[in-house]
């Protein structure tokens, strides 16, 4: 039921067939036309804005409350970047998919959507775990500050540059520089200099993603200016209560600060990646459904999510008897990938390494469930066994070239190709710009 030609032109009906649309306001803004519509069904009231450039719907935003039919009291919940590239799923629908036994149908649907929207090219991001020093104490992670059994390391600039050059020569489009979280000026200026060195040593051709935790907005700004253009910061869980069950409740581990960090990154122009762990102690299916809604609501460009895998030198290890079996955690993580692919058709989704800690073909299976990014490990082999976030981490004894060959074969075996020499940026991000 569409009232007003603008609505049908904007193809909002394809966004969610259950809604009725009532057009309320139209106005022009030079080349852009903004249509504001009220969408009504029996449960909700949304304000929808469709920006059109040259007659084509570019951007759709929905602000409203749910479930509610009396006004706009609660904060905006739904943000659709574009009706064509989003499928609206309610939390209830997500729960249903997460609990359904028919995994294959879900994966097939997600794979079709992946093929149509981002294709079947897999992009490699060479992962350089350049330091395992961390000032945080997350209850689940082997790198936590209080794990004294770990040999702490920091890779020299020369070694990082060597790994970056290897990525460039191997035609990996990008690298990911990952470390524990250190918030010191010396650390942030080191990264800034390193970024510049990598850029110049690789003819400005290598894309650089950072994954160095929560930092000040100023630090993020400097890193962006020095050449990093993507940032990964998992929310881990979007449920505040659960967040404080898996992190100490102190200034260093603030849920609000993590959200603020994600906002800063977005504001500064980074392609922002976030994600969660699936199968955490105390985590419910409803929590996970909320997480997926959260990732949609923050309109992230990239997602990295994987199963929680216990580590014996962490406080959460004592909860291991209460965890769901590893295989279930694995299946649930794949389902999350598939659901996200359905909800956000044009984002980049990583086939997380943790999947391979449970299933030997975990990363390839993720490709068939909708993922399109793989992070081959480029960390010099002698450091790898000290970057144990969780147990059974794969590729601990292999070298960079072994991982490259191994992953190439794995990708090919599953009928996909590798986007060598391409950045493979998030299409979602490029359209949002
Ligand atoms: N199991 C799975 N993933 C983990 N991470 C940290 N510890 C674990 C674990 N035990 C993930 C977190 C973090 C990323 C770098 O590694 O999600 O954001
Ligand atoms: Fe440090 Fe990140 Fe591990 Fe937390 S998850 S302890 S911040 S490396
Ligand atoms: Fe590293 Fe297979 S991916 S050895």
- Tokens matching residue 294: 């959260």
Is residue 101 scored above 50 in pLDDT?
yes
Any atom of ligand 2 within 6 Å of the Cβ of 301: no
Q: How many CA atoms lie within 13 A of 312 on its CB side?
A: 4
58 vs 33, more confident: 33
Q: Which of 29, 35, 73, 30 is nearest to 51 (CA)?
A: 35
**Any idea which ligand is nearest the CA of 352?**
1
Residue 41 and residue 164 share a domain: no
- Cα–Cα–Cα angle for 214, 86, 80, rounded to 5 degrees: 65
16 vs 149, more confident: 149
Is residue 295 scored above 60 in pLDDT?
yes
Q: How many helices (H) and strands (E) does the chain have?
A: 15, 15
181 vs 39, more confident: 181
Residue 152 and residue 11 share a domain: no
**What mean pLDDT do residues 265-274 have?**
96
Could you give the 3-state DSSP secondary structure of residue 53? strand
Structural domain includes residue 194 = yes
DSSP string covering 94-163, please? HHHHHH-S-HHHHHHHHHHHHHHHT-SEEEEEEEEEEE---S---TT-TT-TT-TTS---B--HHHHHHH
Q: What is the pLDDT of residue 431?
A: 84
Mean pLDDT score of the chain: 85
Which of 61, 87, 113 finishes a domain? 87
Digit-coded pLDDT (tens) for 179-217 = 999 999 999 999 999 999 999 999 999 999 999 999 999
Q: What is the pLDDT of residue 84?
A: 66
Nearest CA to ligand 2 atom 8: 180
Find the length of the chain.
433
β-bridge partners, 27:
34
d(CA 132, CA 145): 10
Q: How many domains does the chain have?
A: 2
Which of 27, 54, 87 finishes a domain? 87
**What mean pLDDT do residues 391-411 have?**
95
Residue 192 and residue 83 share a domain: no
Structural domain includes residue 322 = yes
Is residue 155 scored above 50 in pLDDT?
yes
253 vs 35, more confident: 253
Residue 386 and residue 299 share a domain: yes
Pairing of strands 32-40, 45-53: antiparallel
d(CA 245, CA 241): 7
Is residue 363 scored above 60 in pLDDT?
yes
Digit-coded pLDDT (tens) for 313-334 = 999 999 999 999 999 999 999 9
β-bridge partners, 417:
121
The CATH code of the domain that includes 42 is 3.10.450
**What mean pLDDT do residues 67-82 have?**
32
Provide CB contacts within 8 A for 97, sequence distance 6+: 89, 106, 335, 338, 339
Residue 205 and residue 160 share a domain: yes
Percent of the chain whose pLDDT exceeds 70: 80
Structural domain includes residue 97 = no
3-state SS of 254-305 is CHHHHHHHHHHHHHHCCEEEECEEECCCCCCHHHHHHHHHHHHHCCCCEEEE
349 vs 74, more confident: 349
Residue 266 and residue 177 share a domain: yes
Q: What is the pLDDT of residue 27?
A: 37
The CATH code of the domain that includes 155 is 3.20.20.70
**What mean pLDDT do residues 216-238 have?**
97
Residue 146 and residue 62 share a domain: no
Q: How many CB atoms lie within 10 A of CB 352?
A: 26
Domain that holds residue 29: 2-87
Query: 351: CA distance to ligand 3 center in Å?
Result: 13
At what angle are helices 91-99 and 326-343 packed, to 10 degrees? Answer: 140
Percent of the chain whose pLDDT exceeds 90: 79
- Ligand 2 site-directed mutation target among 143, 148, 354, 386, most atoms within 8 Å of CB: 143
Q: What is the pLDDT of residue 88?
A: 82
Which amino acids bring their CB within 6 angstroms of ligand 1?
140-141, 234, 236, 277, 306, 308-309, 311, 354, 389-390
Structural domain includes residue 96 = no
Residue 161 and residue 14 share a domain: no
Which of 87, 114, 129 finishes a domain? 87
**What mean pLDDT do residues 5-12 have?**
31
Q: What is the pLDDT of residue 380?
A: 97
d(CA 81, CA 101): 30
**Any idea which ligand is nearest the CA of 402?**
3
Residue 146 and residue 33 share a domain: no
Structural domain includes residue 107 = yes
Phi-psi region of 24 (alpha: psi -120 to 50; beta: other; left: phi over 0): alpha
Residue 248 and residue 369 share a domain: yes
Q: What is the pLDDT of residue 432?
A: 74
**Any idea which ligand is nearest the CA of 403?**
3
Residue 207 and residue 62 share a domain: no
Structural domain includes residue 92 = no
d(CA 217, CA 225): 12
Structural domain includes residue 94 = no
Structural domain includes residue 220 = yes
Residue 225 and residue 314 share a domain: yes
Is residue 22 scored above 70 in pLDDT?
no
């Amino acid at each position: 039921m569409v009232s007003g030609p603008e609505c049908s032109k904007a193809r909002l009906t394809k966004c969610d067939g259950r809604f009725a649309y009532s057009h309320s306001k139209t106005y022009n803004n030079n080349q852009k036309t903004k249509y504001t519509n009220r969408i009504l069904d029996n449960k909700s009231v949304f304000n929808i804005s469709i920006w059109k450039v040259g007659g084509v719907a570019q951007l759709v935003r929905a602000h409203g409350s749910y479930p509610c039919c009396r006004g706009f009291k609660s904060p905006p919940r739904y943000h659709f970047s574009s009706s064509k590239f989003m499928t609206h799923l309610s939390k209830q629908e997500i729960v249903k998919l997460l609990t359904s036994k028919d995994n294959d149908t879900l994966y097939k649907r997600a794979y079709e959507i992946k093929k149509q929207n981002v294709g079947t090219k897999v992009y490699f991001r060479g992962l350089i775990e350049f330091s395992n020093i961390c000032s945080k104490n997350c209850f689940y992670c082997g790198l936590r500050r209080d794990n004294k059994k770990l040999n702490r390391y920091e890779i020299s600039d020369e070694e990082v540059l060597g790994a970056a050059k290897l990525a460039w020569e191997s035609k990996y489009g990008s690298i990911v520089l990952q470390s524990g979280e250190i918030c010191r000026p010396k650390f942030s200026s080191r990264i800034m200099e390193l970024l510049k060195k990598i850029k110049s040593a690789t003819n400005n051709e290598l894309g650089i993603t950072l994954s160095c935790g929560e930092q000040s907005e100023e630090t993020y700004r400097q890193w962006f200016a020095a050449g990093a253009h993507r940032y990964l910061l998992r929310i881990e869980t979007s449920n505040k209560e659960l967040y404080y069950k898996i992190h100490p409740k102190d200034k260093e581990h603030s849920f609000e600060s993590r959200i603020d960090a994600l906002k800063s990154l977005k504001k500064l122009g980074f392609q922002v990646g976030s994600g969660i762990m699936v199968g955490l102690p105390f985590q419910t299916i409803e929590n996970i459904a909320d997480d997926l809604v959260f990732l949609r609501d923050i309109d992230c460009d990239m997602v990295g999510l994987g199963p929680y895998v216990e580590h014996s030198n962490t406080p959460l290890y004592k909860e291991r008897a209460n965890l769901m079996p590893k295989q279930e955690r694995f299946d649930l993580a794949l389902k999350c990938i598939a659901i996200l692919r359905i909800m956000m058709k044009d984002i980049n989704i990583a086939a997380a390494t943790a999947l391979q800690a449970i299933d030997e073909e975990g990363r390839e299976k993720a490709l068939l469930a909708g993922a399109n990014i793989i992070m081959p490990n480029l960390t010099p082999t002698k450091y790898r066994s000290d970057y144990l976030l969780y147990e059974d981490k794969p590729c601990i004894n292999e070298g960079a070239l072994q991982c490259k060959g191994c992953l190439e074969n794995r990708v090919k075996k599953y009928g996909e190709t590798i986007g060598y020499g391409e950045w493979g940026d998030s299409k979602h991000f490029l359209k949002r710009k």
